Chain A
Amino acid sequence: MIEVHKDNFDQEVLQADGLVVVDFWGPKCENCLALMPDFQRIAGLYADKAKFAKLDTSGNRRLAIAQKVLGLPVIAFYRGGEKIAELGPSECSAESIEAKVKELI
């Protein structure tokens, strides 16, 4: 899994081919930390079908807000430079992420 930040977000996410799944997280967000192992497991399962990335919002606040992320955790799905789907703080779970990945690949 790659780490994305303000300097590589355009290249790795917006200009990438195919589906890109980004985990917006923060070190103070316990729910994010709890979700991380699931996200990593799902990333492993679908590594050949989509690109998985994580974004530490603590150093990339402006970027997160520009992506309309103001609460954590958020799993956002991008394709062709556009955000096509998103799971917000109340929707993120191992099951919902995997279901959305399956739906979009």
Chain B
Amino acid sequence: MENLWDIIIVGGGPGGLAAAIYGARAKLKTLLIEKGKTGGQAATTWDMENYPGFAKGTTGPGLMQAFTDHATSFGAEIVRGEVVDIAAEEKTVTLKDGTKYHGRTLIFAPGAVPRTLGVPGEAALRGKGVSYCATCDADFFTDLDIVVLGNGDAAIEEGNHLTKFANSVTVIAIHDEGVLDAAPMLQERAFRNPKIKFIWNSTLQEIRGDGIVESVVLRNVKTNELTEMETNGVFIYVGTIPLTGFLKGKVNLDERGYIVTNEQMETNVDGVFGVGDARVTYLRQVITAAADGAVAAVAAEKYIIEEEGFKDSVLAEKRPVAVVFWTPMDSKCLEMMPSIESALSGFGNKIKTWKLDTYRNRRVAARYGVTQNPTIVFFHRGQVAARLVVTEITAAAIDDTLTPLLN
């Protein structure tokens, strides 16, 4: 098959890049598809001070460049392209230009983008004083007066950052005076910062300006009173939305569009994983995205070994196959294995014996309903022909089960 990869990763933020590092380092043929520049949202945050081991002097773009170099140094390939369609079961992805890639596993790391507020003037004045990226646009507001909407980590962190440029930063916060959702350390810093002012119990009603932002209309959420305030810029930090439109109907998403996975980052489709900010998760940081990526890559590697190994060695085999589900951690298994092996070896080359550690191959064990160790499942021409569970296994029973399969 053309363009066949062990792992195809869609999205080049920290989650995707970490998956690429782990995948490529495990000698898997790893492809990462990114529509723009690698780094994701992390590359749009200048101050990066909570990634462990990188305290002072690290920037978001700098750290993401290091992630990217790290991934390519192990042999991961990064291509530019926008994925517009996927076939989850077949594990193919199609780019906007029509290029198709086939994977043995897929890892989706599409990330999220800032949510827009949807107030009048916001869309028309985007890039004209309305911004969602302080790192990108802060320079323009040197010595000017700006407002920041929001009160979470991103709003307060970027508000602090913007004071390096702007004359004043007014934070529009929806809660009562002194109450912010941001981390305490960020709050303290903002409260101490002489350039930051706060307007409480308020939100934006409208952004006004002829060609560029000139003022905002604030609404007090307690009194509904409207106030117009002159400003040169508006930075909006009201959360994010996941970029999972292309996954709708293909893998399970929650009602807000986030990818639903288990702890191994597995989606509802076998061999398809979801990581990072686009996943249903408790915390959305560089470190959690990177951790997701590592878990997914290792789970993908395991999936390939388990599934493909089983397919090639058991399902595609012409002779009858006795698959012994066992685990060396179980004393009953250790006790019974010699007699099982001896009974099976009596059939010589007429059958194939395949041992499967149920602890390492839980997916396959579960699929064939194996709940006891040891269990022998007999396959013939890719189908389950018979099975013997621990209490039924004897040399005579093995003989009786296999003999009819030989004809």
Judged by a CB distance under 8 angstroms, whether A96 is at the interface is no
A89: B residues at CB distance < 8 A: 126-127, 131, 133, 136
Nearest Cβ distance between residue A56 and chain B, in whole angstroms?
A: 11
Which of B39, B129, B136 counts the most A-chain CB atoms under 10 A from its CB? B136
- Residues from chain A with Cβ under 8 Å of B44 in the complex: 30-31
Chain B hits for A88, CB < 8 A:
126-128
Within the complex, which residue of A30, A58, A72, A90 is in contact with B39, where a contact is CB–CB below 8 Å?
A30
Are A61's CB and B127's CB within 8 A?
A: no
Flag whether B137 is at the interface (Cβ < 8 A): yes
Q: Digit string of B126-142 for contact with A (CB within 8 Å is 1, else 0)?
A: 11111101011111111
Q: Indicate if the CB atoms of A71 and B126 lie closer than 8 Å.
A: yes
On chain A, the number of residues with a Cβ less than 8 Å from chain B's Cβ atoms is: 25
B interface size (C-beta, 8 A): 29
| A33 and B136 contact, CB distance less than 8 A | no
Contact of B233 with A70 in the complex, beta carbons under 8 Å: yes
Closest to B129 in A: A70
Does A4 have its Cβ within 8 Å of any Cβ on chain B?
no
Smallest beta-carbon distance A35→chain B, Å? 8
A43 within 8 A of B: no
A90-B133 Cα distance, complex, nearest whole Å:
12
Which of A33, A37, A68 makes the CB contact (< 8 A) with B128? A68
B interface with A by C-beta (< 8 Å): 36-37, 39, 43-44, 46, 61, 80, 96, 123, 126-131, 133, 135-142, 211-213, 233
User: Could you list 8 further interchain pairs (A-B, Cβ under 8 angstroms) beyond the known A30-B136, A31-B133?
Assistant: A29-B136, A31-B36, A33-B37, A57-B140, A71-B133, A72-B136, A89-B131, A90-B123
What are 8 inter-chain pairs, A to B, with CB distance below 8 A? A30-B61, A30-B136, A33-B37, A35-B36, A69-B128, A70-B129, A71-B127, A71-B130
| A-chain residues with CB within 8 Å of residue B136 when the two chains form the complex | 26, 28-32, 71-72, 89
Residues of B within 8 A of A95 (CB): 96
Q: How far is the CB of B128 from chain A (nearest CB, A)?
A: 6
What does the 1/0 interface line of A7-32 toward B look like (CB < 8 Å)? Answer: 00000000000000000001011111
- Give A5 to B139 CA distance when docked, in angstroms: 16
Q: Distance (Å) between the CB of A71 and the closest chain B CB?
A: 3
Q: Does A55 sit within 8 A of B, measured CB to CB?
A: no
Question: Known interface pairs A28-B135, A30-B44. Does A70 touch B36 (Cβ–Cβ under 8 Å)?
Answer: no
